[in-house]
């Protein structure tokens, strides 16, 4: 609850109760985010808002698929690849998922070494994470190309329900955009870590206090969120 305010004469003013008291606490920074940096606060606000967007996309997809009267394409058939004469269902998606989950491990190690202020290992692991992400995006581009060549479009689909194409390109495209932005940011921040910008407090974008690698942790929160979203996309779109 908010602390009582004082007048010029030292008398205390009435303290607001209920929701007004909660609003007073937050606005005066007496409780919320008191010991949290603005960078961490803003990334959490962004991630919560992004969670709502992805949730709406996935709920819309489930609603469309459950309500359509036209047969829905079988993901095991649509996303199968023929390798050495053998048709392998979801093999590409499985590899993509493995790569993206592996990138969470390298990102977690990068954050760990960032806490230790080991700039070389931090930068190398961030670049490894970016390489995993770029590989994922490249494989996703191959997947898009394959479906487009087979006639799948956002407005139509020769394999079944027309909503399949719009759902697929919207959901995977929006997620792929997040991964692409993450790869770009990882490379930029890794370069700054490698040069020692956070040790010398060099001015510029994504600069924090001297000796503070907080931006690496913030990047880790973003990357883990992107990986977690893919788990839901993989389960609902490819396995259902």
Can you give the pLDDT at residue 230?
95
Q: Does domain 36-238 have CATH number 1.10.3720.10?
A: no
**Average pLDDT score over residue span 69-98:** 85
Can you give the pLDDT at residue 7?
46
Return the higher-pLDDT residue of 2 and 187.
Answer: 187
Residues of the chain with CATH 1.20.120.80: 36-238
- Least confident span in 22-26, 166-170, 188-192, 231-235: 22-26
SS3 at position 86? strand
pLDDT digits (tens, 9 = 90+) for 13-28: 566 667 776 666 655 5
pTM comes to 0.81
Q: Are 114 and 107 in contact, with CB atoms under 8 Å apart? A: no
Half-sphere exposure of 11 (CA within 13 A, CB side): 3
Q: According to the 3-state scheme, what is the secondary structure of 98-125?
A: HHHHHHHHHHHHHHHHHHCCCHHHHHHH
**Binning pLDDT at 50, 70 and 90, where does residue 78 land?**
confident
Per-residue pLDDT for 183 more than 90? yes
Per-residue pLDDT for 2 more than 80? no
């Amino acid at each position: 609850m908010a602390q009582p305010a004082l007048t010029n004469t030292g008398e205390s003013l009435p303290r607001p109760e209920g929701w007004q008291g909660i609003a007073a606490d937050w606005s005066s920074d007496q409780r919320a985010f008191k010991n949290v940096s603005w960078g961490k606060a803003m990334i959490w606000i962004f991630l919560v808002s992004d969670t709502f967007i992805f949730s709406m996309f996935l709920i819309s997809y489930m609603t469309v698929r459950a309500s359509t009267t036209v047969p829905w394409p079988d993901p095991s058939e649509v996303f199968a690849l023929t390798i050495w004469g053998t048709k392998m269902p979801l093999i590409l998606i499985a590899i993509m998922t493995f790569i993206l989950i592996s990138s969470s491990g390298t990102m977690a190690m990068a954050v760990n070494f960032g806490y230790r202020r080991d700039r070389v290992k931090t930068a190398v692991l961030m670049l490894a994470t970016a390489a995993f992400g770029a590989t994922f995006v490249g494989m996703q581009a191959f997947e898009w190309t394959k479906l487009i060549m087979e006639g799948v479009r956002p407005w139509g689909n020769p394999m079944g329900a027309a909503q399949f194409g719009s759902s697929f390109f919207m959901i995977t495209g929006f997620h792929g955009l997040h991964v692409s932005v993450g790869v770009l940011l990882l490379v930029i921040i890794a370069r700054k870590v490698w040069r020692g910008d956070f040790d010398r407090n060099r001015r510029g974008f994504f600069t924090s206090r001297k000796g503070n690698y907080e931006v690496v942790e913030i990047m880790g929160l973003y990357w883990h969120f992107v990986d977690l979203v893919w788990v839901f996309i993989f389960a609902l779109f490819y396995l259902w």
